Amino acid sequence: MSYTHRTQVDGEFDDVVAETIDALEDEGFGVLCDIDVRETLKQKLDEDFRQYRILGACNPQLAHQGLEDDLELGTLLPCNVVVYDDDDGVVVSAVDPKRLIGVAENDDLDPIGDDAYERFERVLESF
């Protein structure tokens, strides 16, 4: 069973990153962090790596609902979306929030995971 949803996109890497951020915003997510893995690995290890960005996405309303029910949920936030170069184009991949929230073993959180899952699906379908 996969822990991500993904789609292959034709386009320039930086454009796909910008489009991903816009699509996340359209679904109520803000990008709290943007980690340039390629740059980090070059600086820290002097290693070359493909273009790879980790976007920490958070929907404040869903996060608030979840934290009201389980304060430890913050250890699973934000939800990560990655954009990276692949041989056949650019990949956009999002964590499966239902699987992520499932580790909390709290059925009250299931509707939040379902909602976030549907939103990420719409983000990926927007390409």
Q: Which two tokens stand for residue 71?
A: 């304060």
Q: Is pLDDT above 90 for 1?
A: no
- pLDDT one-digit tens code per residue, 14-33: 999 999 999 999 999 999 99
Q: Which two tokens stand for residue 9?
A: 């996109």
Comparing CA positions, the residue from 69, 56, 42, 126 lying closest to residue 95 is 56
Fill in the amino acid letter for 36. Answer: D
Report how far residue 107's alpha carbon sits from residue 61's, in angstroms, rounded to the nearest whole number.
18
Domains of the chain: 4-125 (3.30.310.70)
Q: Is pLDDT above 90 for 116?
A: yes
- pLDDT one-digit tens code per residue, 52-68: 999 999 999 999 999 99
